[in-house]
Copies of this chain bind each other. A is one copy, B any other.
Amino acid sequence: MKLSSQAQAFVLHFGEMGSRWGFNRTVGQMFALLTIHSEPVNADQLAEALKISRGNVSMGLKELQAWRLIELHHQPGDRKDYFTAAGSIWDLARTVFEERRKRELDPTLTLLRQLLLTEPGDEQEAEAQKKIQEVYSLLEMLDQFANTLSKLDEKDLLKLMKLGSGLSKLLELKSRATGAAGKAGAKKAPARK
């Protein structure tokens, strides 16, 4: 499989960015290749195109499957496994988003919840507890928001993201429309310092 210089650049870049997005270089490259290549690709082709070992490809494919980013296909009369990116670019973005939320937020929320159960022993600890509570509240809210976004359908998500400065206007509109009482959890707005 020959890659155009354009495809080459795309693939190499996703390899480099890979670590920032949660996977290693070759996994990033494999994903990029499957993304720009619309035809299904098999493991040998990936190894050849990316100049990496067959074993590494096998491990990378396993990881991409764990991320639910690729799909297995079969070609009639060919025993090899073929892969494509799973779904549209939009689907992929959604999957990466959800997967990252799970990996970056959930474990921390679990720990903080646990830390908040033990009563502080002294003044110093009470102070720390307060900070932990603040971090927890923020991350919990973030997590819920991410969850809300995940549930929006493509049309609404698009609408929301395109709002730009219209967003704050819309939020204002909301206050007027529904009054001061928001949804559950939005109790009392304490006077700002």
Please give the residue numbers on chain A whose beta carbons come within 8 Å of chain B beta carbons, in ascending order: 4, 6-7, 9-10, 13, 17, 20-22, 35-38, 88-90, 93, 103-104, 107-108, 111-112, 115, 118, 120-121, 124-125, 127-129, 131-132, 134-135, 138, 141-142, 144-145, 148, 151-152, 156, 158-168, 170-171, 173-175, 177, 182-186
Point out the residue from B10, B37, B162 that lies within 8 Å of A183, measured CB to CB. Answer: B162
Q: Residues of B contacting A36 with CB < 8 Å? A: 127-128, 131-132
Copies of this chain, tallied across the complex: 2
Do A131 and B35 touch across chains, with their CB atoms under 8 A apart? yes
Q: Residues of B contacting A174 with CB < 8 Å? A: 159, 163, 166, 170, 173
